[in-house]
Chains A and B, each alone.
Chain A
Amino acid sequence: MNLLNKLLTALRGAATETGEALVDSQGIRILEQEIRDAKEHLNRARESLTEVIAEQMAVQRKVNGLQTAIAEHEQYANQALAKNNDALALEIAEKIAAFSNELGAQAVVLESLDSNIATLKQSIAATERNIQGMDRELTLVKTTESVHKANEAVAARFSGSRSSLRSATESLERIKAKQQKKVDQMQAALAIQQEENGDRLQEKLQDAGIITKKATASAILDRLKAKRSEA
């Protein structure tokens, strides 16, 4: 929110006047550098996570191997005891003791590797969130900056295309008047065309002797009478 706050202050203040940058380019460069650093850090963290996981798998294998060896040797010891070969049983027991000690040591290593992995994963997630946040900030700043720069260019042009003396409402009135004029012209053209078409048909009908050339008073009266009786 901190950055949005700064932007809003800048937008409210004198920075909206033309020619002044909202956020100094130095600030943008610093932010970009921070993002690059964070991404590098993220890559390093991911690499070490891979290494630690590989190590953890190796230790896990060792632990599994030792557990199997202990189980096997316990069986051997039991068999030796069953055959009353105490000397061999003791020798096997010594081996089991060595395996157990090694297992204890490896279990400690495994535990520390597991916690190491958890920490690294947390750190990676946090860095990713941080990068996303910074990327968003940068986009915000760059967009605001580009909109304002474009606006400056447009403002210069705009005063040319719409006279600064003419207000928005006056311009709208002009457009509506133009549209009305177009509609009127189209209707006039249509009317003229219809009239011409009508005249031509009239001529053809007259030529064919279907209608008489001049309207007669009696014909008009007949027509009016017919209309009245209809009504």
Chain B
Amino acid sequence: MNNKITLTQLADSLHKSRFNNGAALTPEIIEEDLQVLQVLIQDREEFPVYVTIDDSQILCVSYLWQEQEIIPEQREALLEALLALNIPMPLSSFSKIGHQYIIFGALSTRSDADAILHEIETLSDNTLDAIELMADYLK
């Protein structure tokens, strides 16, 4: 018995869904081979959420800022703030891939479309909150 959701099923479901604030979603599988789904959010097009499903987890990722956007002398304070914020930030955690700072949430591969929608909405809210909170450390 396994009812693991596929990226295509998820895209179909998200297409019909909206955030609680009414924002429409535009899901698009941008990498068939690597199974990457891009979810554009109405009025927040600058911060899409990317979803990947692999054997071990469903990963929702949103991009924050790049290394060069950080005010150099504020870098340590920013990193410490991010570390401290990891727990209070609901469902999402911070990470870094190369020079790109990201915020992400990981779900079990058995999660259903509703749970993933909730994750995406929370992640999108958290993305905006995180940038607002960290604005002092950014150029």
Chain A interface (Cβ < 8 Å from any Cβ of B) = 16-18, 139, 142-143, 146-151, 153-155, 157-158, 161-162, 166-169, 171-172, 174-175, 178-179, 182
> Chain B interface residue count: which class?
20 to 34
Contact status B47-A171, CB under 8 Å: yes
* 27 pairs from A and B in contact (CB 8 Å cutoff): A16-B97, A139-B56, A142-B55, A142-B56, A143-B56, A143-B57, A149-B34, A150-B31, A150-B34, A151-B98, A154-B30, A154-B36, A154-B61, A158-B48, A158-B63, A161-B45, A161-B46, A161-B48, A162-B63, A167-B65, A167-B69, A169-B138, A171-B46, A172-B128, A175-B43, A175-B128, A178-B43
Ranked 10 nearest A-B pairs via Cβ: A171-B46, A168-B65, A16-B98, A153-B31, A150-B52, A146-B54, A172-B131, A162-B46, A150-B36, A151-B97
Overall SS of chain B's interface: mixed
Interface: B86 (CB within 8 A)? no
Q: A151-B97, A153-B34, A175-B128 are in contact. List 12 more A-B contacts (CB 8 A).
A: A143-B54, A143-B56, A146-B34, A146-B52, A147-B52, A147-B59, A155-B100, A161-B45, A161-B46, A168-B63, A169-B131, A171-B46
Contact status A157-B97, CB under 8 Å: no
Given contacts A16-B98, A139-B55, A169-B131, contact A161 B40 (CB under 8 A): yes
Interface string of B103-132 (1 = CB under 8 A from A): 000000000000000000000000010011
Contacts of A157 in B (CB 8 A): 30, 38
B52 CB to nearest chain A CB (Å): 5
Cα A143 to Cα B56 with chains together (Å): 7
Cα A153 to Cα B31 with chains together (Å): 7
Overall SS of chain A's interface: helix
Question: Can you name the residue of chain A whose Cβ is closest to the Cβ of B106?
Answer: A143
Question: Can you name the residue of chain B whose Cβ is closest to the Cβ of A171?
Answer: B46
Contact status A153-B138, CB under 8 Å: no
Cα A202 to Cα B135 with chains together (Å): 50
Cα A154 to Cα B47 with chains together (Å): 12
Question: Can you name the residue of chain B whose Cβ is closest to the Cβ of A140?
Answer: B56
Interface: B139 (CB within 8 A)? yes
Most buried by A among B54, B55, B57, B59: B54
Most buried by B among A142, A153, A154, A171: A154
A164 CB to nearest chain B CB (Å): 9
Contacts of B38 in A (CB 8 A): 154, 157, 161
Contacts of A178 in B (CB 8 A): 43
Within 8 A of A (CB), among B16-58: 30-31, 34-36, 38, 40, 43-48, 50, 52, 54-57
Contact status B59-A154, CB under 8 Å: no
